[in-house]
Structure 1
């Protein structure tokens, strides 16, 4: 509020036009003031000058003498009848008392000055002094009198027609309501009054400033979606005004918002790139470099090292052009940070040394690894402050800090109480975000709350094993994982678009059509296209994706089902146990920074075990995955067995007793454990490394018995999702037909003799179509042309052998199209099988998908990319979708949500269980595995997990396919109804 007063005071001498709609500041009565002698005027001026000089000295004695000098001047002006000079000098003295916290004399002097201004009829000074009086009352905690003074000030400005000052005072009153009276709604009302004032005047700059003010306020009250809405409105104002510089600043500000408040690096990058393009257009070198550094920071957060280095290096060249040695030094150090995170410590050190040399007088300070622990008293005071403001995220942060202090003191009960209140706040804020992706990003930023809460509960369990703490810890673990998936599955069942405003549905469809067109254009970019054109297209796609999310958020908020969906509660332990039969064990992991935990749940019992820290487990998982996938390691049985046994000892050996006699394992993984196949771990009871008992190329016996030999394995995002998936199946009729198969699409490569162009090439005629197809392959992450998968045709034929013709649908070769894959006809089939390549776009994971035929029978290019947005729109009745493709089980990892990829899209479309692969596998081995998998389901009547186990064992027992590389990649995600079978109505067998 002092700042507003200062702005007002500075503005007064300038009010000779513009928004000033009043007469001269000097009242006509001043013309009647009797002339003063030169000596009196000089003496008064000298006293004021002396007073200011003494005040600067700062000592109590000098201040007292300064007050006396001010009083001398005031007396002289009073004697002369110069009320204007007298009032100005009184204001000088009042403001000095106020600055020293001497509120009573300050108030007396302000009131004296107010009387003089009223006598003079000076409306501007009356209003200004009333605001100062309001500030003084506020500082004295006399809030009613303060509000009364502010309101009188506003009325005075309104009566006098001072528009600028009305806006400033409306903001002051709004801030007063929030900070002093803790009335958020009143504060918002006054901020909106300020916005309306400037909208009536048509002042674009002030409208934009008011929108930003409201956006900032929504951040204060932790309503992040509303904040973003107003920041985007501010951007639109500058776009309509055609102000490039302000547009750039707005994009940069929105980028900061995504980075600081939403932990959404992808969206931040999009905004920074837009700002960068505009700063370039405007020619601001420093601003370009700032945005490039921030883009680099986001790429660093995403572990996209080449992009981070490229951004920093471009920024570095700009800092050098600008002669900014200190910023040059900072950017060099950032490049060092990238190399350090890549594990290239020697290179990193060189960059750090260069950073020092670039600015030896003030080198960049290293990032502190931790902050000093603040006192309990500090946090208690902070808690009191946040509670007075109505809570919000600040209270949650403070309570977590207090919980850590309580835990350190051994008061675990007190720590739990703090964390439960903090988590209530975290959960409440989460429900206010309509966009599932932004909700996921937000939830990723608060995972440490759940981690601490779980750790405290498990410590209490160790002290009091019979008090139910381990069950509460497991329920907390469920609350911390795959919540957005849980909600979108409920959303899919609620059909929230049914009650949505038609204009929003139409807008969503329009944006989706634009996205499809741009995505098609992106993969069809010819090799001659410039990098600038590709970057511009990428920026346009990201912008459309952001628009789509906003529109979909509005659709969700308009649904009467939305509130119930966002408040859906994860399962209790008792409800989890109701999902399990006597032969099933639920295993759920929670990886923590200090220690990790695993729970083993049966229909009647729950047990828990402490495991090593996240870093230890994830390192073991990485070594294991490398051993079974890296070409240099995967055919070395001893190395594979050693890493399998080592990881088993970390995460399964504590459960060895729990696993005994359990046919079926439901596994809820965490972190890097989501990227490894549990089927290829060792049976814990045999997890002992014996140098002469590993499988070797000579076929020696081994102690490494894969886990799948003894157990069926199903992977779940969370136990709660299993309940929803089962309910979805119970509530709908079974599809009438058995299976639809998409296999052996035509990608346009030179290895495919089905193409007219390749026939022509064999007849020495030129091939006219390879460039766009090959370019499309590169744009979705393939190093060269997409290779044909010839064995998938055999795979399809083996499946057809098991199913009557009237129970199957075949889309092979040219017929394996995107149009067929999105046809309503697919809703007729219980199983849908895709034998093709998958692709994951790091830049836009939302546009990842499956590759179907990219050319038609005439050899002309067609759009064959089935992307996630289209998968989400499918209406399927299938109980199982099999993605017999490369790396279809991977996706973008978001902490607390897991891997966001194709599985989630198909589950939203109505499919409870999806078969996926974790890495690229030999085409022939996959074909054989799939054939045996379907034989188990369609011929022997096995459930999908049982059929997969039988198929994997059959492959493992063959010498040439014994390595887990060939059989362990394929896994099942999601859940079926127990006992549900897929055996054909009429199984077709050979007569012999």
Structure 2
């Protein structure tokens, strides 16, 4: 598979055969000049450059110089292993002597030795040496560059070998002086001239262009250069080191553009050709990154573990492996495994007596315990241990980072005296080093502490201190924190209006930046603490100032950030855009992000100008992304508009988790009420425990009722009959309808308890925007009304251990039978339920039912997976059986409804809220209007019965949300009343019915009877009249 790809990938490139022909053409031109007596020495040098390449180069020279007796005699008389002895053969004697004099004496070249326009070949030879800096001063090179540029740009200059050498000197000198603008300007001139001999020097100069394009973010041009020039030339030369180096860079550029599949193929080829474990591991750093980006974490882990079984000479390599495993398992919240590997890393560091590595491990653990558990005690203990080894003298940057981390934790837990002392220490150290960025960080944090202690005057002085410096020294996160602290100062000084006016534009920039940040984790927004503090403050200010609609709008905008990260995913863009478009879009996005940072600290007048620039560049970027943004977002309508669309009996519950607060918005046609609850680690643990107990079947009704009380659902107005819910995180795992309406008699009194589902009709959406856009009935013309996919036997699935689903096939056939209102129905079971067929049918089916294993990825919704059969026996990879969500983006769905009926968590634990939210957004972005899935694993037979019941209700014309409700109520009344069994399913998205409601049979009979009576009466009257 990989070999086939590489053949296709390299097919358009010039081959080494083409370079043989090009080289023969070059030599023919040199020979012709020598025969004409034109610049004999320079042309002789060029021929010898080719002879010096390798044995093939010497053979080409031998066959091409036969008309030159002296050279033919010389080259016919030597073998390729003798070439180094003759490196200056055929040089002009005086020029050769001057060159040797400079090299032997170590002379610094000046105009007294060689003027700028003299001896271009000597300049070329010295410049191409690694030790060039011994012979040239920077000033000389700057003047030489100006002189040579005038020469190559002169209209009187004729192209030829001397011109090519001077042009090469321009490129090499510009590279040395970091004049990448000069290199870029002369690219076409260089690649279009064929006078400079095909040699290692030409290859190195092509590398200068490669690096220049990289610096400017023009990855597409780098790739084009590599494919058309560098790689073919390196292959012709036969320099394996250079070939591998070019391919490594090629893989890196493809990775940067989001072309992960192509990057992986290159790295796998290099990895398979590597000869030592150390070489393999250095390559796997890159290859492993592509595996993770493609969702192939099993490959990544397998290699790391296999590497640990080998004899690794460098202990640092083993440390890196353990560190990688720690980071990976931390990212998927497998805490025990993560800690196990970091402890193994500690053992290696102790054994190797590497105190720096030991300190770094403690630093990692300090951040780990705080970021994952907010465990200040363990975090500070580890940071203190690290600070015993690090010092400002030996590890300045790391030491400052450690102090800032420590100070931040102390401030968060209100140990303000210690926090102040820590940041004062940072302030003094950074001031002594003229480290302005970290100095400003310390001052901003000290200001925040002043405000916490109500020291308004001291805070004002610190803010004045910040103003003395250029705010360009702040990165985006620190700029956000500074503006948040500044707004907090305004508010505590009694000026809420100034606080809001200052912070609202900052919030806009944070949200827009997050939506367009392609470096975030796929499908999810990475939330910095600085952002959370800004959001908490603005929402609090807006609520306190009776601006609740604006607060709710901001809370909902937080939810739509993750929608934007889907279509800004490199995987999605790479599948639809060319390399040139990807590179240009990346450059434009970087310019926008730079301007957003500049905007935060600009004056009002400057902000207007910067915003105009942002709008202009964004328009250019959006033009490129026009084909990618299939779900191009529209602005959220005003909150009053959403309220006006609500019925009098309808309540909208909107949940948003921000930092350590859970905001609950209660929205009716006439009222907005926003409350927040402390949502610290203890309360999060409670919600998680309730979700776990519900998912495992150990349902505790008293816990569920406690949640009912926490969320303040006791006082729902009497007229409310329908509740629309916009959940967040933990509440995706706990459908509100399973909550008891009154305190249960016991934790397990399931049958005697009344639940919210019995009093209210529930609907679920991922955001207010989705709620608004799905209030209308959706209908579409599709080729197929219903497509069902069912697999019961998973014994032949590779790399997985999936249990059988014996009722899956029966379930799908039963559903087909109950959908009597639909004519065009297709069912694919067993070996017929292939990945290819699924991708073909899912885009043309109105209803899609999936009764096979699917995995919800909490880490990345793009890699949520549906398991299907291989298309053919030749398919051997696990990826041939796994359909990732992102693969559906190339198959735009037109489905009104998709049901996944055997979901599980890809991490092996219970499905988390992030995964449910993520797969819903991913499938919606792909084009599905609504989705139903099980929130936890359920018995195969129960799942089958529930699905059949649900589709039967759909067939009768019920809305999707009502069909889900009635199917749950049926389970509740006639089967086990434990919410674990009947509450597992959630329908998210458009709730509209899929067919018209069928006419009631009793009513039809009554109408027919009435029609008969009327007919009889009419007949009687007619007879009576007669």
TM-score range, shorter chain: 0.5 to 0.7
Cα pair 1:832 1:881 within 8 Å, conserved: yes
Question: Are 1:418 and 2:502 counterparts?
Answer: yes
Cα pair 1:272 1:291 within 8 Å, conserved: no
Query: Structure 1 417/287 Cα, relative in aligned 2: closer, same or farther at 3 Å?
Result: farther
Moved more, 847-856 or 338-347: 338-347
Superposition deviation, residue 884 in structure 1? 1.7
**Match of 2:733?**
675
Superposition deviation, residue 800 in structure 1? 1.1
Superposition deviation, residue 618 in structure 1? 2.3
Superposition deviation, residue 792 in structure 1? 5.5
**Match of 1:848?**
864
Superposition deviation, residue 965 in structure 1? 0.5
Report the secondary structure of 2:800's partner residue: helix
Cα pair 2:653 2:664 within 8 Å, conserved: yes
Question: Are 1:308 and 2:338 counterparts?
Answer: yes
| Cα deviations by residue, 1:256-312 (Å, 9 ceiling, x for unpaired) | 9999xx9x999999799899989x999654355246425523532442335524543
Question: Are 1:942 and 2:958 counterparts?
Answer: yes
2:575 and 2:884 map into 1 onto residues whose CA distance is: 23
Cα pair 1:600 1:658 within 8 Å, conserved: no
**Match of 2:827?**
810
1:986 and 1:864 map into 2 onto residues whose CA distance is: 45
Cα pair 1:336 1:349 within 8 Å, conserved: yes
Q: Which residue of 767, 770, 776 maps to 1:721?
A: 770
Cα pair 1:433 1:439 within 8 Å, conserved: no
| Cα deviations by residue, 1:346-387 (Å, 9 ceiling, x for unpaired) | 998999799899989999979622464334555566567566
5+ residue gaps, structure 2, are 1-99, 116-133, 151-165, 192-201, 220-251, 411-418, 424-444, 448-458, 583-619, 1006-1026
Cα pair 1:127 1:156 within 8 Å, conserved: no
**Match of 2:434?**
none
Question: Are 1:476 and 2:554 counterparts?
Answer: yes
- Matches of residues 573-588 of structure 1 in structure 2 within 5 Å? 573-577=639-643, 579-588=645-654
Superposition deviation, residue 21 in structure 1? 11
**Match of 1:396?**
480
2:186 and 2:543 map into 1 onto residues whose CA distance is: 55
Cα pair 1:803 1:986 within 8 Å, conserved: no
2:631 and 2:814 map into 1 onto residues whose CA distance is: 43
Superposition deviation, residue 323 in structure 1? 3.5
1:865 and 1:711 map into 2 onto residues whose CA distance is: 39
Q: Which residue of 836, 840, 865 maps to 2:852?
A: 836
Query: Structure 1 814/382 Cα, relative in aligned 2: closer, same or farther at 3 Å?
Result: same
Query: Structure 1 623/227 Cα, relative in aligned 2: closer, same or farther at 3 Å?
Result: same
Question: Are 1:607 and 2:673 counterparts?
Answer: yes
2:383 and 2:875 map into 1 onto residues whose CA distance is: 57
Cα pair 2:856 2:865 within 8 Å, conserved: yes
**Match of 2:933?**
916
Q: Which residue of 711, 721, 724 maps to 1:666?
A: 724
1:840 and 1:642 map into 2 onto residues whose CA distance is: 29
Query: Structure 1 964/901 Cα, relative in aligned 2: closer, same or farther at 3 Å?
Result: same
- TM-score for the superposition, normalised by structure 1: 0.59
**Match of 1:70?**
none
Question: Are 1:620 and 2:686 counterparts?
Answer: yes
**Match of 1:642?**
702
| Cα deviations by residue, 1:45-87 (Å, 9 ceiling, x for unpaired) | xxxxxxxxxxxxxxxxxxxxxxxxxxxxxxxxxxxxxxxxxxx
2:844 and 2:258 map into 1 onto residues whose CA distance is: 46
Query: Structure 1 949/896 Cα, relative in aligned 2: closer, same or farther at 3 Å?
Result: closer
**Match of 2:446?**
374
Superposition deviation, residue 624 in structure 1? 1.4
**Match of 2:711?**
651
Cα pair 2:811 2:947 within 8 Å, conserved: no
2:212 and 2:893 map into 1 onto residues whose CA distance is: 47
**Match of 1:202?**
204
Query: Structure 1 196/382 Cα, relative in aligned 2: closer, same or farther at 3 Å?
Result: farther
Report the secondary structure of 1:480's partner residue: helix
**Match of 2:531?**
449
1:842 and 1:889 map into 2 onto residues whose CA distance is: 7
Report the secondary structure of 1:611's partner residue: strand
Question: Are 1:740 and 2:787 counterparts?
Answer: yes
**Match of 1:776?**
799
Superposition deviation, residue 481 in structure 1? 1.0
Superposition deviation, residue 666 in structure 1? 1.9
1:407 and 1:934 map into 2 onto residues whose CA distance is: 55
Question: Are 1:696 and 2:711 counterparts?
Answer: no
Report the secondary structure of 2:903's partner residue: coil
Query: Structure 1 201/332 Cα, relative in aligned 2: closer, same or farther at 3 Å?
Result: same
Moved more, 945-954 or 371-380: 371-380
2:493 and 2:295 map into 1 onto residues whose CA distance is: 37
Cα pair 1:879 1:913 within 8 Å, conserved: yes
Query: Structure 1 503/976 Cα, relative in aligned 2: closer, same or farther at 3 Å?
Result: farther
Q: For this pair of structures, how many residues does the alignment match?
A: 725
Superposition deviation, residue 718 in structure 1? 0.8
| Cα deviations by residue, 1:566-602 (Å, 9 ceiling, x for unpaired) | 6743343134335533333221112233433211223
Query: Structure 1 963/276 Cα, relative in aligned 2: closer, same or farther at 3 Å?
Result: closer
Query: Structure 1 833/564 Cα, relative in aligned 2: closer, same or farther at 3 Å?
Result: closer
| Cα deviations by residue, 1:526-555 (Å, 9 ceiling, x for unpaired) | xxxxxxxxxxxxxxxxxxxxxxxxxxxx99
Question: Are 1:972 and 2:987 counterparts?
Answer: yes
Query: Structure 1 315/453 Cα, relative in aligned 2: closer, same or farther at 3 Å?
Result: closer
Query: Structure 1 735/489 Cα, relative in aligned 2: closer, same or farther at 3 Å?
Result: farther
**Match of 1:906?**
923
Query: Structure 1 408/123 Cα, relative in aligned 2: closer, same or farther at 3 Å?
Result: farther
Question: Are 1:570 and 2:585 counterparts?
Answer: no
Question: Are 1:926 and 2:943 counterparts?
Answer: yes
5+ residue gaps, structure 1, are 1-13, 30-121, 132-150, 172-187, 218-224, 506-553, 635-639, 750-771
Report the secondary structure of 1:682's partner residue: coil
Query: Structure 1 457/268 Cα, relative in aligned 2: closer, same or farther at 3 Å?
Result: farther
Superposition deviation, residue 681 in structure 1? 1.6
Cα pair 1:215 1:229 within 8 Å, conserved: no
2:288 and 2:886 map into 1 onto residues whose CA distance is: 24
1:471 and 1:886 map into 2 onto residues whose CA distance is: 37
**Match of 1:558?**
624
| Cα deviations by residue, 1:953-977 (Å, 9 ceiling, x for unpaired) | 222223x510010011101111234
- TM-score for the superposition, normalised by structure 2: 0.57
**Match of 1:710?**
759
Query: Structure 1 247/678 Cα, relative in aligned 2: closer, same or farther at 3 Å?
Result: same
| Cα deviations by residue, 1:862-921 (Å, 9 ceiling, x for unpaired) | 955443234334444332212221338999999998746443343233221111111111
Cα pair 2:259 2:574 within 8 Å, conserved: no
1:257 and 1:412 map into 2 onto residues whose CA distance is: 48
1:567 and 1:627 map into 2 onto residues whose CA distance is: 37
Cα pair 1:596 1:614 within 8 Å, conserved: no
Q: Which residue of 274, 286, 300 maps to 2:316?
A: 286
**Match of 1:105?**
none
Report the secondary structure of 2:658's partner residue: coil
**Match of 1:963?**
978
Query: Structure 1 25/663 Cα, relative in aligned 2: closer, same or farther at 3 Å?
Result: same
